[in-house]
Amino acid sequence: MKKLSARRRHPLAAVVVLLLALAATGGLYAAFAPAGKAQADDTAQSLAIDEGKKLYSVGCASCHGSGGQGTTDGPSLVGVGSAAVDFQVGTGRMPAQQPGAQVPKKKVIYNQAQIDQLAAYVASLGAGPITPKQSQVDPSGADVAKGGDLFRTNCAQCHNFTGKGGALTDGKYAPDLEGVSPKHIYEAMQTGPQSMPSFPDSTMPEQEKKDIIAYIKTVNGDDSASPGGLSLGGLGPVSEGLFGWIFGLGGLIAIAVWVAAHTAKAKKS
């Protein structure tokens, strides 16, 4: 030992110790690490999961935990499924900007390929609702009238009569559904984001979801007809009353002022 201790101040001593330590850890890991699959998995799915995990570590892990287990700042993502990720990230709600009553819709910062990778990673954490295929959400041929009935029964309480949105308690709200893609509406129903209840296929079959999507697109889409003229936001009597007071009565009072100012004069002025 004396020999060893005499060289402990040798310039290369630290390097040697480091090498020994590394070799020990590496050896121990090789001995005890779980075996996993024997052959290297290089399928597209596993690549997507790997890429997704990288994206996750950068964009999501600070709130949802390094393994999706959740922290005090964000819920666990185990079992939320790829549909939830596709909805939350695809509408820009996630990554959240700041904590608050509700996370708002905002600019989407990932492209669809990245969203799919994130979804694949989160889906790998535990089984959950799966991102729907295009054919599942396509509203063409669906029954609009039945969708309307279903909408009024299940959705109108919070989203207003035609999906214009409404207020919930303490700053939470049900958002306006105008311009939301069929896929995202479907996923929202499937997963129940934030305050929304979920409507899994067991309570609301796929066809009924399509009907609802078709109804929303018909009455609250970009090209919805408004047979009566300006829709005034479609918010009902509050905006109508405001319009009636400001433009209706306001205009008539302006006319009254004009008429009163142009009267027959006894003397020429």
Partner 1 sequence: MSTVTDTQRKAPAGERVADWADGRLGIYGLAKANMRKIFPDHWSFMLGEICLYSFIIIILTGVYLTLFFHPSMNEVVYHGPYEPMQGIRMSEAYASTLDISFDVRGGLLMRQIHHWAAVIFLAGMFVHMFRVFFTGAYRKPREINWLFGFLLFVLGMFTGFTGYSLPDDLLSGTGVRFTQGAILSMPIVGTYISMFLFGGEFPGTDIIARFYSIHILLLPGIMLGLVVGHLILVFFHKHTQFAGPGKTNKNVVGMPLLPVYMAKAGGFFFLVFGFIAMIAAIATINPIWALGPYRPDQVSTGAQPDWYMGFAEGFVRVMPGWEINLWGHTLVLGVLIPLVLFGLVLGALALYPFIESWVTGDKREHHILDKPRNAPTRTALGVAWVTIYFVMLIGGGNDIWATHFHLSLNAISWFVRIAFFAGPVLAFIVTRRICLGLQRRDKEKVLHGRESGTIKRLPHGEFVEIHEPLGPEQLHTLTAHEQYKPIEIGPTVDENGVERKPSALQKLRARLSRSYYGEGNQIPKPTAEEYKEITSGHGHH
Exactly one of 67, 96, 114, 161 binds partner 1 (CB under 8 A); that residue is 161
Query: Looking at 66, 112, 157, 203, which residue binds partner 1 (CB under 8 A)?
Result: 157
When asked if residue 180 is in the footprint of partner 1 (CB under 8 A), the reply is no
The values of phi and psi at residue 167, to 5°, are -90, 145
Binding of partner 1 at residue 164 (CB under 8 A)? yes
Stretch 203-222 residues interacting with partner 1 (CB under 8 A): 215, 218-219
Q: Which is nearer to partner 1, 61 or 196 (CB)?
A: 196
Note whether 238 binds partner 1 by CB under 8 A: yes
Binder among 51, 138, 149, 206 for partner 1 (CB under 8 A): 149
Asked if 169 is part of the footprint of partner 1 (rule: CB under 8 A), the reply reads: yes
Kindly state whether residue 239 participates in binding partner 1, applying the rule CB under 8 A. Answer: yes
Distance from chain centroid for Cα 121 = 17
Task: Indicate the residue among 54 and 172 with the shorter CB distance to partner 1.
Answer: 172
How many other C-beta atoms can be found within 10 angstroms of the C-beta atom of residue 190? 25
Looking up tokens 């067991």 gives 202
Residue 140 backbone class (left: φ over 0; alpha: ψ -120 to 50; beta: rest): beta
Q: Is 247 in the site for partner 1 (CB under 8 A)?
A: yes
Interface segment toward partner 1; rule CB under 8 A; list 29-37, 90-98, 118-126, 224-232: 224-232
23 binds partner 1 (CB under 8 A): no
Encoded tokens for 113: 């390929």
- Contact call for residue 99 and partner 1 (CB under 8 A): no
Q: Left if phi > 0, otherwise alpha if psi is -120 to 50, otherwise beta: which for 65?
A: left
Q: How far apart are CA 205 and CA 16, in angstroms?
A: 66
Q: Segment contacting partner 1 (CB under 8 A): 18-26, 49-57, 114-122, 259-267?
A: 259-267
Listed residue (158, 215, 161, 160) closest to 185, CA to CA = 215
75: left (phi over 0), alpha (psi -120 to 50) or beta: beta
- Based on the shown chain and the rule CB under 8 A, indicate whether residue 152 belongs to the binding site for partner 1: yes
Output the CA–CA distances (angstroms, integers) from residue 128 to 38, 124, 125, 182, 227, in the order listed: 27, 9, 9, 20, 42
Q: Which residues bind partner 1 (CB under 8 A)?
A: 101, 144-149, 152-153, 156-162, 164-171, 173, 215, 218-219, 226-232, 234-245, 247-249, 251-253, 255-257, 259-261, 263-264
